[in-house]
Chains A and B, each alone.
Chain A
Amino acid sequence: MEWLVAIAISVITAVGVYLVLSRRTFSVVMGLVMLTYATNLFLFSSGRLAVNQPDIVTDPAAPHADPVPQALVLTAIVISFGMTALILVLAVRGYFESGNDEVDLLGPEEEIARGRT
């Protein structure tokens, strides 16, 4: 169980990091989505993985699922959802404003126009 979750988190993180480092905004946004998925899974597992256990503790010694990380993950999901929507809007607007979807601050033609090369 732990191994499965750990491998899943690491693979999703690796994909996310790879995509975030790309040149085009769309891949970067996808990378960010992947990263937030991995983060949420990680946060969820920080309360220890427990299957089929109650999350309301009557006897502290009995096995139980920790409810706090679940609440944290809910908050994190809502925030990352909002942020993803926002960056998508920004990316689209950036595309229409500048005509391409490069992440770099200045495209090569702008560099030339500015007389830097």
Chain B
Amino acid sequence: MSHWLILPILIPAIVAPLLALAMRNDLVLARVFSVGSMVWLVLLGMYQVGVACDGEIRTYELGGWPSPFGIVLVLDRLSALMLLLNAILGLCVLLYAINGCDQRGAHFHSLFQFQIMGINGAFLTGDLFNLFVFFEILLIASYGLMVHAGGSARVRAGIQYVVVNLVGSSLFLLALGMIYSSTGTLNMAEFARQAPLVGPEHQTVFYTGTALMFVVFGIKSALVPLQFWLPGTYANTSGPVAALFAILSKVGAYAIIRVCLLAFGESAGEAAFFIGPWLIPAAAATLILGMIGVVASRSLAQQASFAALASIGTLFLAIGTFTPQAQTAGLYYLLHSTLALATLFLLVDAVVIRRTGFGDALVPAPKFKHVGLIASMYFLAAIAILGLPPLSGFVGKLLVLEALTSNSNWGWLWGTILATSVMGLVGFAYSGSLVFWKSGEFTEELQIELAGVADSGIKSSKVDHSGKSISAGIVLPMVAISCLLGTLVLLTIFSGLVLRYLDATSQQLYSPEQYLTAVLGEGERPVPIVTAGDH
């Protein structure tokens, strides 16, 4: 048993309380430790991806309790990839946040580390109840981060976010109760073995529980009609936090991929991919709603939030198709969209802290500092998120389109994706030209006119409420954003390499027997745990 497997959870778990208890008054030390932890996680993520490349699935039994009785952590290609993605994203966002965002409220770094720990745990765990616990860890940290630095709009949006997720947690527990009472286990692998063996008298409870669990994952990943929490949350929180949240909705997507392919794969007979027919329309609706939102947005942050929603729609169109090829496309799009959205949110924040008095509202405003640099980066990020060539979004969207041909309604789905892309293009072209291009044409008459409007209270929700002046350095934030853009470029240049890895990942996901054997051992024919006698 190799103990390094648990390090992605342990490192932030040790650093976070240290930050909260020992370093709460020493910002420099806190930054050093926080960044140090993230650098280690990036290195560890690279190592784990390298190790997972050989196709073997590694397990770690906590406390030495044999699975399925104890909690087991599982590292396969998908988990390793998600860990690396989370680490890279976390490091870039943290570098950006050091610019001043972390000073505006207490315990930013500590909450950040707890958030990373929860996400890593959710990617590693092989137990459904443990997944719930890690969801709670990442959520409670995200509640703290969400309302970081305060402001009435942000706290209000925070309350909504917390309420939605608490209801989601309750539903998750109900689902777990039903699953436990009908299968007698919460270990994912054992659950997958028991699923086909559930007797007819427990079928109703079993399918209700499973469907409820997928609903919960749908809430986490903000699929229509469960998307209500996302735009308000992302648009009202601070930029770096929104950028980190870009991976939060992907945790739900990960959970759907994991559980569905493990327990309801091709071998499940009638129940195989039973959520597929639900996922595709929901994904299409998410995509359309997201892009309508992009066009209708009244601030940059709102626009980026709806772009996040749209990217989730595209992602689930690929995942919901349930073929190995579509899975590969979906994973590539997942990598791309997470990084691209984070870039976009960070750039929005860079605009907000410079456009004094106007925030990110879509109104003409005077030229602000570094407008050229930020505008060109924003241009690149918008290209990436919309899926225009030459960045990775184009590759991702092309792969998704290609994968959708196996669906019988592919014509409609193609039409949806292409039409919404045009809508997104219009939305981003409008906002970009208004905020960046027209900032030069800001005349005196306009200023007087706007002063009137400003008096009546046209203010972006993102105008800095703390009142503190921010030492707006330019180097570190731009390095952080350039790193994110750089990963997008790398994802494009080395798309062949990445796709080979992702192809192998899909193959691994579509042969769940390997996972079951790795977790539970060879074992004889499984027998049902819950029998007809149990009522």
Across the interface, which residues of B come within 8 angstroms of A113, CB to CB? 456-457
Q: Which of B161-204 contact A (CB under 8 A)?
A: 162-163, 166-167, 169-170, 173-174, 176-178, 180-181, 186
Min Cβ gap B216→A in Å is: 12
Across the interface, which residues of B come within 8 angstroms of A32, CB to CB? 163, 166-167, 170
Q: Are B162 and A86 in contact (CB under 8 A)?
A: yes
**With A90-B155, A94-B156, A115-B458 in contact, do A83 and B140 touch (Cβ < 8 Å)?**
yes
Across the interface, which residues of A come within 8 angstroms of B534, CB to CB? 48
Q: Are B181 and A47 in contact (CB under 8 A)?
A: yes
Min Cβ gap A60→B in Å is: 11
Q: Are A90 and B177 in contact (CB under 8 A)?
A: no
Q: Which of A11-48 contact B (CB under 8 A)?
A: 20, 25, 28, 32, 35-36, 38-40, 42-43, 45-48
Stretch at the interface among B114-122, B145-153, B276-284, B401-409: B145-153
**Interface residues contributed by chain A, number (CB under 8 Å):** 39
Cβ-Cβ contact count across A and B, 8 Å cutoff: 111
Chain A 87-109 against B: per-residue CB contact (8 Å), 1 yes, 0 no? Answer: 10011011001100001111000
Q: Which of A56-78 contact B (CB under 8 A)?
A: 68-69, 72, 75-76
**B152 touches which of A83, A94, A103 (Cβ 8 Å):** A94
Q: Are A75 and B180 in contact (CB under 8 A)?
A: no
Min Cβ gap B232→A in Å is: 6
Residue of B nearest to A71 (CB): B129
**Docked pose: A20 CA to B170 CA in angstroms:** 12
The answer to whether the Cβ of B275 comes within 8 Å of any Cβ in the partner chain is no
Min Cβ gap A12→B in Å is: 11
Q: Which of B518-535 contact A (CB under 8 A)?
A: 534-535
Residue of B nearest to A29 (CB): B163
**B163 touches which of A46, A76, A79, A87 (Cβ 8 Å):** A87
Q: Are B162 and A87 in contact (CB under 8 A)?
A: yes
**Interface residues contributed by chain B, number (CB under 8 Å):** 38
**With A46-B177, A113-B457 in contact, do A97 and B150 touch (Cβ < 8 Å)?**
yes
Residue of B nearest to A9 (CB): B174
Q: Are A94 and B159 in contact (CB under 8 A)?
A: yes
Q: Are A86 and B143 in contact (CB under 8 A)?
A: yes
Across the interface, which residues of B come within 8 angstroms of A91, CB to CB? 159
Min Cβ gap A68→B in Å is: 7
Q: Are A83 and B177 in contact (CB under 8 A)?
A: no
Across the interface, which residues of A come within 8 angstroms of B456, CB to CB? 113, 115
**Other A-B pairs beyond A43-B174, A106-B156, 11, CB < 8 Å:** A32-B163, A47-B180, A48-B534, A75-B133, A83-B162, A83-B166, A86-B140, A90-B162, A94-B158, A105-B157, A114-B457
Residues of B at the A interface (CB closer than 8 Å) are 129, 133, 136, 140, 143, 147, 150-153, 155-160, 162-163, 166-167, 169-170, 173-174, 176-178, 180-181, 186, 232, 236, 453, 456-458, 534-535
